Structure 1
């Protein structure tokens, strides 16, 4: 199933941040500024070590030049007291460089989560639970291992992007304007706005994109589409203010962006991130497509999802074989 967005399909959460990194690498910033931005990016050594320990159980790397990069949204501070990955995207770059397929993984799919190493050095028990719990149990490594066992697709690199950086970005832009046809309120995330036009600051924007249960149809898929639409508004704000061409305005934005990024050792520098985005931007028109893992309502767990067997299997097979998605 494809993402249905009214506009700005190329403006997704991860690509907006990576786009900022590309600009930082090529905007002629002073050396001190470049070094400062480079130093903001954190390296996820813990995940790399955990995945190395599980190397024998992981799927084989894709043949040829195809790559799979997982982008994880770190939703720490959402009111649960725990980190959750409510946004997980798989970027598949075809070996021939002609396709970039971005696949959303709904957080509410009930899956088998393996035993994972937690941040205290202990080991969590293997259990069947919703997909986004994997990040809470064992960080990026647990999310990757859960996804790999579900799909038999090898993840080559990963990026974790913190929601706190997203709020800083919105504040740096002086807020982002939204217009609501009707009042919205979701007490779970502190979202409460009357109908009409609003200029949201970072904290309000964070609540806006997290809102789910009491907004729209309350589904995770609705929340994903809502986040992507808001990113289009962020991009409009960036371009309307001339931020991307004004170094004085650009540096605070890039500082917020890079401060939000944690990456594996193969993507933890401006140059490496720039190379990734350069490959995405080189994809011909029409080659960038958006999808979501096919699901159906879970038969026994209310408000949870199960894989739509044949459709999901077809999607995973195409990704493993580096063939175009339908």
Structure 2
């Protein structure tokens, strides 16, 4: 009896034979390995899901070489990258950012009122990022601007006709992102390096995922069309309220697009500040929520149509704060042909675009 007990003590496992302990360890090891494989698979599935959310358009192929020349780029710098990370690009960039008023899908119909067919560029901003990527200028183009809309290629083949005194936002209506980019390049003579488009639902989801956004209004807003009623002052807005603020025009100023642009520019800065204050890298669940909100309603050019490319762009802009972002509106005057429309004010407009080059 004593020798039998001694044998158990030598095994060092409270009475379990050595062979059983080895089996238990193997099972534990296999279970852990299985969990790691499942975790990696889930992460890969989440990554694939976010990637597959993004819709893209090959604008470079569609437009070919009939475009303004690319800007001079600055070599990549590893100053802000770790030794194990790829060097971050530091060259200047021009990105056309559009907010689409598409009513496709239940959410967009509900948020947009469901009264309009088709889609137009409800908001248009040229985002110019300086070389070094520590400063940026956002230039808003009023949707009511009358322009010469160039001939644009169509998905179905053929092309649109040149249109004179056309509303700027009609370019998106007739030719989608490709025509929007070509029209912007034709009136600015500035090459757009990238294209980003987000719809009603995506914007509202982004704001909600970030926990809302804080904006200060200088006057009361009372707009039954956008369903927005705010007293002058500082407000923390939900996604639906922020979208209404971005869309309101009859409840502020003279009811033109110019008053709305001022609110949109405030919103952009407020969003930048909210993103900076939300440490997404320490909260994977929040990071995924924000990424899901953005990618589910995003259309880009093929140079930004993956999470890795979007993250790379974001990392290269880590030194860009809201204080170093300047917002301006393309100089315009009332159109001689229509008091409800505007045209580019020259030479101020051309000088602005030239300064970005």
The reply to whether TM is greater than 0.5 is: yes
Q: Is the 8 A contact 2:202 2:293 kept in 1?
A: yes
**CA distance, structure 2, for counterparts of residue 241 and residue 316 of structure 1:** 34
Corresponding position: 1:103 with 2:112: no
Question: 1:90 maps to what in 2?
Answer: 126
Aligned residues: 286
Change (3 A) 1:192 1:59: closer
- 1:198 CA displacement: 8.1
- 1:83 CA displacement: 1.0
- 1:139 CA displacement: 0.9
Q: How does 1:131-210 map to 2 (within 5 A)?
A: 131-172=168-209, 182=220, 184-187=222-225, 190-193=226-229, 202-210=239-247
Q: Is the 8 A contact 2:134 2:317 kept in 1?
A: no
**CA distance, structure 2, for counterparts of residue 285 and residue 220 of structure 1:** 24
Paired residue secondary structure (1:30): helix
**CA distance, structure 2, for counterparts of residue 178 and residue 289 of structure 1:** 17
**CA distance, structure 1, for counterparts of residue 248 and residue 323 of structure 2:** 31
C-alpha distance after superposition, 1:145-170 (max 9, x if no partner):
11111121111221112222112234
Question: 2:36 maps to what in 1?
Answer: none
- 1:63 CA displacement: 3.0
Corresponding position: 1:75 with 2:90: no
Q: Is the 8 A contact 2:221 2:251 kept in 1?
A: no
Larger Rg belongs to: 2
Question: 1:33 maps to what in 2?
Answer: 46
Structure 1: where are the runs of 5+ without partners? Answer: 1-28, 321-326
- The higher-RCO structure (CA 8 Å, 6+ apart) is 1
The alignment's C-alpha RMSD in Å is: 3.3
TM-score by length of 1: 0.74
- 1:212 CA displacement: 0.9
Paired residue secondary structure (2:142): coil
C-alpha distance after superposition, 1:218-252 (max 9, x if no partner):
12222122123345555676678876643233322
Between 1:108-117 and 1:129-138, the stretch displaced more is 108-117
Structure 2: where are the runs of 5+ without partners? Answer: 1-41, 75-91, 104-111
